Structure 1
Amino acid sequence: MSISAAFFAQAQDVSVIRNTVEAYSTTPMVGSAKFNAMGGSNGALGGDANSLLTNPAGLGVAISGEVSGTLSISGNKNSSSMAGSTLDYSKTRGDLGNVGGIIAFPLTQTSESGWKFINIGINFSNQSLDNEIHSPGNNNIIYDFSATDPTKGAAMSGHSYQRYGNVSKMSFGVGANYNHNLYVGAGLNFFNASIDQYDTLGYRNLMTNSVSLFSKQDTPFFERSSGFSASLGVIGKLSPNFRLGASLETPTFWSIDRTYQFYNDPNYGDDMGAENRKFTSPLKATVSAAFVASKNFSLNVDYTLGLTKPDYKVYGPAEREYNDFFKDNYKNLSEVRVGAEYRIKQFRLRGGYAYQSSPFDALTVSRFNDAGVSGDQSYSNLLLSDRNTASVGIGYDFKSFYIDASYQNITSKYSNPFMRGYIDGNFDTAYYSSTQIAQSDTYAVSEVKNTRNNFFLTLGWKF
């Protein structure tokens, strides 16, 4: 499937597409150290507040109260390569990753009722969105800023996408236990996101070697957003050792307030603008299976599938083009998570793995190759790609108190398009410096390897 020129002329920004998927369509999955060590897989196990991240019916599995807090240390590294050169970016950030609690209410037992517990849970999950992609330059990609003055010729010297912010999910839920065989639950989820996005292109003058920096039209932009969703779930025991679970989370209904810098407007010149967008993320379903061999070993598998596609409320051509792009090129996102725990007296050993599929079909764009020659190229991993997560963890149970630690390694590789933007009638997606305008109807594309190394430490109290 090719991306039409009209799409990027009207829809403005590659980074908007990436943020639509990464920030607004993917639920934050930073839980406790135990949850993260098991790959985020607990949909049929439940038993703590992190059930609100996968299946609220898991709240009903708990038979005692619990509260915990988790410190996260997130390391992010990008290696971006093009034309034989590579630029690296790395950043480490500490934050409060997760706080959760559950209160268990035993019910009075009568011969007429099999309900054992009604439990209330609350969970807060916080995830960093910080990411910088610094692509190297290519001396073979030349731009003539003046057709008559050869001293104005310049080579593309590099590009940066810079994103700073975070997304959080606050969930409230209730779960019930029927005869220790059937568990049902429901939750309400409230989201907040903060995104500061920059798109900067560099050109080096061929005569003076001085470098000028250009910002894409309507960038930088700053978004402050809120949203809500609801979830329902059920877990059933097929036998004392086997459980099955299923849950459904409604789309998240986002309200996105944005301010942005615009340039060269015929009436206002260079100034700031503001707008509001309404966005609906995909509906998600999760099915789970768990094997509990004994009190010492448990294994869980989750499979999550997006049932619908991202959708913007249409206010004009930009939102319409976004929706057309996602309708034609977005694949329903799926993820498999597997996690296991083994107990040796009071010690806990855990491991997990997760695989998330690529969100887009193969896409064809016009791009410059390393020799600076333009032509069409098909990419199977343009913008974003599939993602692999491997995790391990340990813990120690002091009866009333416990401490857990875990490590995650997340990797992905994708092709990163940039530089394309030009003025076409009423649509302006060009790049601007304080004195010049840079236009291109062709992309440059770098290859990005992203590696995230995350550490988590959880302290908890059971009561």
Structure 2
Amino acid sequence: MSISAAFFAQAQDISVIRNTVDVYSGSPNVGSAKFNAMAGSNGALGGDANSLLTNPAGLGVAISGEVSGTLSITSNKNTSSYAGSSFGYTVNKGDLGNVGAVMTFQLMSESAWKFINIGVNYSNQNIDNYIETPGNSNLVYDFPDGGSSSFGRHAYDRYGYVSKTSIGVGANHNNNLYIGAGLNFFNSSIDQSDTAIFNSTDNGSSEFFSKQNTPFYEKGNGFSASLGVIGKLSPNFRIGAALETPTFWNIDRSYNFYNDPIYGDDYAVENRKFTSPLKATVSAAFIASKAFSLNVDYSLGLTKPRYKVYGPAETELNDFFKEDYKNLSELKIGAEYRLKQFRLRGGYAYTSSPFDALTQRTYTNAGDIVDQSYSNWTLNDRNALSFGVGYDFRSFYIDASYQNISSKFSNPMLKGIADQTNNIEAGYYSPSRLISSDASVVSDVKNIRNNFFLTLGWKF
């Protein structure tokens, strides 16, 4: 374990690391039901407003105007297993997931430029996430003021959203070269808590603890730009490439703190500036006929997350990501088959793990402390399978799709040292007591997301 990772785990909340990657370094990828059924793979196909989620050059492929709206119904289940017990909890949410529109302008001239099209896309992703871990009576903490308690349970609770509004332009040159550019505007909201319950070994009474600097609330806005190109190698083959700049986030943050020698228990506010990784995407598409098409996208993060440094907290964050973050890669494959007015679609996506293997001081089920290595720490690789159907009424269309996303990861908690001498205050606090430890409890979490999408659209 690197020194930066060890120090960071003492001084910061694990959920800050998770949100940095899961919320601020990612991008809302909720498109239309067609887009989601094909696993978000359309980088060399294009043709609608969802091109702004992968390659803005796809706007230039459109030959007619279009507007659509998508209802998303999401189900997010985490099952956390520890010390021979498991606890599962499901969060269900319905929302407006996507709105897209394309306006086409055919150029009536002798020029090789055939179309200049303008697109607008809004994508909204629910980020509600709840992980509750069962307790362990073998894990006993002794309090400085006397008495002891066993670990009762732990919970991470996050709710909120992240959205992306994109405006772009695409152009068609002689029906074999397409170029595009887009501007992307992000908004986010996060409410996060980190809590634990301990049971007295004397009388069995329970005591509720909050981690230092939690609960916290964050409201953010960000900006990025994207460029793309699609080339038609033949009537049946296309290739594409796109580049999206880092997202430059401005995050207002408020949080609770405890046991301060001057202020006691109170809350504070601060501002953070964050830069997400630069991302590149390459794509290839095979169009056998008007009845069948296949697209493959591969995306890679080219840089690492970075906070603007205002003090020790941002320095620790940056050191951690410099040492232990792996550039994310994603592979997406999607296909569509048309049978008259019917549409059949399917897709698969794989996203790599964002972290190198980490070694942590960890409590065993028996309450002993060992050094344990984790290859799936906090977040891990994800697999997504999807399929969908649609029907085209010529001017109007309706599409539906289902998406299943699964991952397994190690879930650390309860690590936090209380040492004001060294300015490290990250323990768990109740109104009258403090729990601190340099070791983590780590549960195994299985995450399953079942998402449904319904799109209504109009072509003109």
Q: Could you state the TM-score of these two structures normalised by the residue count of structure 1?
A: 0.98
Aligned residue number for residue 215 of structure 1: 210
What is the rounded CA distance, in whole Å, between the counterparts of 1:318 and 1:198 in structure 2? 19
The one of 129, 144, 150 equivalent to 1:131 is 129
Describe the superposition over 1:372-396 as per-residue Cα deviations: whole angstroms up to 9, x where unpaired: 1101000000000000000000000
Aligned residue number for residue 446 of structure 1: 443
What is the rounded CA distance, in whole Å, between the counterparts of 1:50 and 1:205 in structure 2? 55
Q: Per-residue deviation at 1:144?
A: 1.0
Q: Per-residue deviation at 1:293?
A: 0.4
Moved over 3 A (4+): 1-5
Aligned residue number for residue 59 of structure 2: 59
- Residues 72 and 94, structure 1, Cα contact 8 Å, conserved in 2: yes
Q: Per-residue deviation at 1:422?
A: 1.6
Describe the superposition over 1:289-341 as per-residue Cα deviations: whole angstroms up to 9, x where unpaired: 00000000000000000000000001111111111110111000000000000
- Residues 146 and 153, structure 1, Cα contact 8 Å, conserved in 2: no
Alignment-mate amino acid for residue 132 of structure 1: Y
- Residues 358 and 384, structure 1, Cα contact 8 Å, conserved in 2: yes
Describe the superposition over 1:419-454 as per-residue Cα deviations: whole angstroms up to 9, x where unpaired: 011212212001111111111111000000000000
What is the rounded CA distance, in whole Å, between the counterparts of 1:331 and 1:180 in structure 2? 39
- Residues 136 and 157, structure 1, Cα contact 8 Å, conserved in 2: yes
Q: Per-residue deviation at 1:9?
A: 2.8
Alignment-mate amino acid for residue 205 of structure 2: S
Alignment-mate amino acid for residue 247 of structure 1: A
What is the rounded CA distance, in whole Å, between the counterparts of 2:2 and 2:444 in structure 1? 19
Q: Per-residue deviation at 1:146?
A: 4.1
Output aligned runs, 1:29-178, within 5 Å: 29-110=29-110, 113-146=111-144, 149=146, 152-178=147-173
What is the rounded CA distance, in whole Å, between the counterparts of 2:358 and 2:10 in structure 1? 17
What is the rounded CA distance, in whole Å, between the counterparts of 1:342 and 1:9 in structure 2? 53
What is the rounded CA distance, in whole Å, between the counterparts of 2:282 and 2:311 in structure 1? 38
Aligned residue number for residue 9 of structure 1: 10
Q: Per-residue deviation at 1:247?
A: 0.2
- Residues 172 and 187, structure 1, Cα contact 8 Å, conserved in 2: yes
Alignment-mate amino acid for residue 361 of structure 2: S
What is the rounded CA distance, in whole Å, between the counterparts of 2:372 and 2:338 in structure 1? 52
The one of 275, 278, 285 equivalent to 2:273 is 278
Describe the SS at the equivalent of 1:238.
strand
Q: Per-residue deviation at 1:6?
A: 2.0
What is the rounded CA distance, in whole Å, between the counterparts of 2:128 and 2:290 in structure 1? 40
What is the rounded CA distance, in whole Å, between the counterparts of 2:6 and 2:447 in structure 1? 28
Identity of aligned residues (%): 69
- Residues 225 and 254, structure 1, Cα contact 8 Å, conserved in 2: yes
Describe the SS at the equivalent of 2:234.
coil
The one of 217, 222, 227 equivalent to 1:227 is 222
Alignment-mate amino acid for residue 397 of structure 2: Y
Please give the root-mean-square deviation of Cα atoms over the aligned residues, in Å.
0.8
Describe the superposition over 1:50-73 as per-residue Cα deviations: whole angstroms up to 9, x where unpaired: 000000000000000000000000
Alignment-mate amino acid for residue 9 of structure 1: Q
Describe the SS at the equivalent of 2:63.
coil
What is the rounded CA distance, in whole Å, between the counterparts of 2:436 and 2:335 in structure 1? 53
Output aligned runs, 1:360-379, within 5 Å: 360-379=355-374
Describe the superposition over 1:63-87 as per-residue Cα deviations: whole angstroms up to 9, x where unpaired: 0000000000000100000000000
- Residues 91 and 130, structure 2, Cα contact 8 Å, conserved in 1: no
- Residues 406 and 449, structure 2, Cα contact 8 Å, conserved in 1: yes
Describe the SS at the equivalent of 2:288.
strand
Q: Per-residue deviation at 1:2?
A: 4.1
Alignment-mate amino acid for residue 399 of structure 1: R
What is the rounded CA distance, in whole Å, between the counterparts of 1:358 and 1:198 in structure 2? 24
Aligned residue number for residue 416 of structure 2: 421
Describe the SS at the equivalent of 2:18.
helix
Describe the SS at the equivalent of 1:360.
coil
Q: Per-residue deviation at 1:8?
A: 2.2
Describe the superposition over 1:173-199 as per-residue Cα deviations: whole angstroms up to 9, x where unpaired: 000000000000000000000000100
Aligned residue number for residue 21 of structure 2: 21
Alignment-mate amino acid for residue 123 of structure 1: N
Q: Per-residue deviation at 1:267?
A: 1.1
What is the rounded CA distance, in whole Å, between the counterparts of 1:2 and 1:413 in structure 2? 24
Aligned residue number for residue 389 of structure 1: 384
Describe the SS at the equivalent of 1:23.
helix
Describe the SS at the equivalent of 1:326.
helix
Aligned residue number for residue 322 of structure 1: 317
Aligned residue number for residue 335 of structure 2: 340
Q: Per-residue deviation at 1:266?
A: 1.1
- Residues 131 and 164, structure 1, Cα contact 8 Å, conserved in 2: yes
What is the rounded CA distance, in whole Å, between the counterparts of 1:430 and 1:418 in structure 2? 11
What is the rounded CA distance, in whole Å, between the counterparts of 1:310 and 1:431 in structure 2? 28
- Residues 2 and 365, structure 1, Cα contact 8 Å, conserved in 2: no
Describe the SS at the equivalent of 1:95.
strand
What is the rounded CA distance, in whole Å, between the counterparts of 2:363 and 2:262 in structure 1? 35
Describe the SS at the equivalent of 2:35.
helix
What is the rounded CA distance, in whole Å, between the counterparts of 2:254 and 2:408 in structure 1? 31
Q: Could you state the TM-score of these two structures normalised by the residue count of structure 2?
A: 0.98
What is the rounded CA distance, in whole Å, between the counterparts of 1:204 and 1:266 in structure 2? 27
What is the rounded CA distance, in whole Å, between the counterparts of 2:10 and 2:351 in structure 1? 30
Q: Per-residue deviation at 1:208?
A: 1.5
The one of 165, 185, 188 equivalent to 1:190 is 185
What is the rounded CA distance, in whole Å, between the counterparts of 1:376 and 1:267 in structure 2? 37
What is the rounded CA distance, in whole Å, between the counterparts of 1:76 and 1:358 in structure 2? 19
